[in-house]
Amino acid sequence: MASKKKYSKEMLLNFYRTMNRMRSFEERAAECFTKGMLAGNIHLSIGQEAAEAGAFAAIQEKDFFTSTHRGHGHVIARGGDAKRAMAELFGKKTGYCKGKGGSMHIADMAKMNHLGANGIVGAGQAISAGSALASKILGDDIVTVGCFGDGSTNEGTFHESLNMAATWKLPMVWFIENNCYGVSTEIHRVTNTPDIATRAAAYDVPFAVVDGTDVCAVYEAMLKAMEHARSGKGPYVVEAKVYRYQGHYCGDPAVYRPASYMEDALANDGIEKLGKKLLDMGVTEAELEQIKKEAYDEMMEAVKFADESPYPDPSEVTEDMYTTDNERCVAR
């Protein structure tokens, strides 16, 4: 559904800026990974920028959210600190989690109200529902957004949590980025409904399916969803159809996908589409290039910061296990 809403040039430029920052973060992370500067695994969200930028623009500062193993984009879209996020990928002391969580566990309780990315597919569904339950008990007007992908919607937590959230009218929005692949498995080979969000109907929960390459469409769908949840009417599910340009993890050649997947993806690139729209509105090529350059420079700074930051001291290995009586609890 094409957007009817009027957008100022400034708002669209903001989207464009955010989306370029997200992509640049991921590209720089991929470069660092390829150069061997990062240990472990990273899961990139290149191609999903429009969906995430649109969604997070509809989320208020007081709101909470959960994220997934493919969660760097959410942090940038939320206005997180790219330096601390990159440092966490590097396993450095200056990272969001002091290097203890890494790419799959970035969280920020202090500023972003980020209840954590999660390495377990589907875990954030119950955690987001629990945060929404907290809002109901506390009587605040905070909405919790659970962000996750298509793969997790076949976990039991999807159905258990959505059933409870719907029954108890919890202020929760689920934002599903459907990139069609759970690692290598195409969603329609293992799922019987063309759209995922239609499953919400089984729990009498309203839903929307939107083009996740159209930042405005996602923004509008999420605004409506957030308003619904905030007004006490219970949860809402938004499914954004997106493309995952990379394989499951950085370095996965994704040979299991047909060539047409990437052809479609590139023909529908969210950043390119928004760029064209801005050119039509009178923004110059040079202005767009400048935005890309600023994003690149910022993320190069983040890499520099991460690279130059100290690793945690080995003595910190047993810290932060327990809030109280930590030493005795880890001793034996």
Partner 1 sequence: MSKKLTVSKAIREALHEEMVRDDKVFIMGEDMAVMGNVFAITTGFLEEFGPNRVIDTPISEEGFCGMAVGAAMRGLRPVIELMYNDFATVAADPILNQAAKMRYMTGGQASIPMVLRAPMGSGRRNAGQHSQSLENFFCHFPGLKVIAPSSAADAYGLIKSAIRDDDPVISLEHKLLYAKKEEIPDEEYLIPLGVADVKREGKDLTIITWSREVNFSLEAAAELAKEGIDVEVLDLRTLVPLDWDAIVKSVSKTHNVIIVSEEVKRGSYAGELSAQIAEELFDELDAPVERVCGLNIVSPFSPVLEDENFPHPKDIVKAVKRVLNK
Question: Applying CB under 8 A, which residues contact partner 1?
Answer: 64, 66, 95-101, 105, 107-110, 115-116, 118, 120, 123, 125-138, 144, 156-157, 160-161, 163-164, 167, 319-325, 328-332
The token pair that represents 255 in the structure block: 């040979």
- Strand 181-182 versus strand 236-241 pairing type: unpaired
User: In whole angstroms, what is the distance from residue 205 CA to residue 225 CA?
Assistant: 11
Contact between 218 and 247 under an 8 Å Cβ cutoff? The reply is no
Query: Residue 114 Cβ, how far from partner 1 at the closest point, in Å?
Result: 9
Looking at the chain, list the stretches that DSSP marks H as alpha helix, in order from N- to C-terminal side: 9-34, 49-57, 72-77, 82-89, 123-138, 156-167, 187-190, 215-230, 259-267, 270-280, 285-308, 326-331
Nearer to partner 1, 167 or 231 (CB): 167
Nearer to partner 1, 297 or 325 (CB): 325
Nearer to partner 1, 49 or 81 (CB): 81
Nearest to 78, CA basis, from 103, 104, 111: 111
Nearer to partner 1, 290 or 318 (CB): 318
Backbone angles phi, psi at 201, to 5 degrees: -60, -30
Nearer to partner 1, 290 or 326 (CB): 326
Query: Residue 260 Cβ, how far from partner 1 at the closest point, in Å?
Result: 36
Rounded to 5 degrees, what angle do the CA atoms 71, 304, 252 make? 40
Rounded to 5 degrees, what angle do the CA atoms 204, 206, 210 make? 145
Query: Residue 295 Cβ, how far from partner 1 at the closest point, in Å?
Result: 27
Backbone angles phi, psi at 18, to 5 degrees: -60, -45
Nearest to 276, CA basis, from 290, 288, 264, 294: 288
Query: Residue 290 Cβ, how far from partner 1 at the closest point, in Å?
Result: 36
CA atoms within 13 A on the CB side of 188: 6
Nearer to partner 1, 97 or 225 (CB): 97
Nearer to partner 1, 167 or 198 (CB): 167
Query: Residue 43 Cβ, how far from partner 1 at the closest point, in Å?
Result: 16
Query: Residue 98 Cβ, how far from partner 1 at the closest point, in Å?
Result: 4
In our burial notation (b when 16+ CB lie closer than 10 A, e otherwise), range 141-177 reads: ebbbbbbbbbbbbbbebbeebbebbbeeebbbbbbbb
Query: Residue 88 Cβ, how far from partner 1 at the closest point, in Å?
Result: 9
